[in-house]
């Protein structure tokens, strides 16, 4: 199978704090599958490390109040182009991220409060018919 994954789940240090979300279940997928890692926020032009962001009234905004929506949407569009080219059988994304979150994301108050809803990239991939799962549902 061809599987696209959030790069941080595959061990890339692309998280906002310079770390990763290495995941044992994702690592098990490395065996016998073609893995395509993507980090939409980095692909959109944001640096690592970076100030964390949330979706505030529909606009990706970092904790300093800077609008980073263009970077988020560029990253999502790039992820979609890769998915359209590669046609992955499955896409596994990191939970709760404002880009990659599939089922939940933070509510834009930077208080750690979760709401139902997807991140920018996950939403675009789902809307375009790709099979997207939250890593917690693997």
User: Please, what is the minimum distance in Å from the beta carbon of residue 89 to ligand SF4?
Assistant: 19
User: Please, what is the minimum distance in Å from the beta carbon of residue 133 to ligand SF4?
Assistant: 14
43: left (phi over 0), alpha (psi -120 to 50) or beta: alpha
CA–CA dist 72, 67 (Å, integer): 10
Instruction: With beta carbons less than 8 A apart as the criterion, state whether 43 and 77 touch.
Output: no
User: Please, what is the minimum distance in Å from the beta carbon of residue 9 to ligand SF4?
Assistant: 7
> Which of 1/18 has CB closer to ligand SF4?
18
CA–CA dist 67, 48 (Å, integer): 17
Interacting residues toward ligand SF4 by CB under 6 A:
6-8, 14-15, 39-41, 94, 97, 99-100
User: Please, what is the minimum distance in Å from the beta carbon of residue 92 to ligand SF4?
Assistant: 11
> Which of 22/127 has CB closer to ligand SF4?
22
CA–CA dist 103, 11 (Å, integer): 22
> Which of 8/124 has CB closer to ligand SF4?
8
> Which of 94/118 has CB closer to ligand SF4?
94
| Nearest residue (beta carbon) to ligand SF4 | 8
Q: Counting beta carbons within 10 angstroms of the beta carbon of residue 4, is it exposed (0 to 12), middle (13 to 18) or buried (19 or more)?
A: buried
């Amino acid at each position: 199978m061809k599987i696209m994954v959030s790069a941080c789940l595959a061990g890339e240090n692309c998280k906002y704090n310079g770390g990763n979300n290495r995941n044992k279940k994702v690592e098990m997928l490395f065996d016998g599958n073609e893995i395509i890692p993507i980090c939409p926020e980095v692909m959109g032009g944001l640096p690592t490390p970076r100030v964390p962001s949330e979706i505030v009234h529909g606009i990706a905004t970092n904790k300093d109040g800077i609008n980073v929506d263009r970077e988020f949407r560029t990253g999502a569009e790039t992820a979609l182009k890769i998915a359209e080219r590669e046609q992955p059988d499955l896409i596994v994304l990191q939970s709760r991220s404002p880009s990659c979150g599939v089922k939940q994301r933070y509510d834009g108050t930077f208080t750690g409060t979760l709401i139902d809803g997807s991140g920018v990239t996950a939403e675009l991939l789902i809307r375009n018919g790709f099979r997207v799962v939250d890593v917690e549902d693997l």
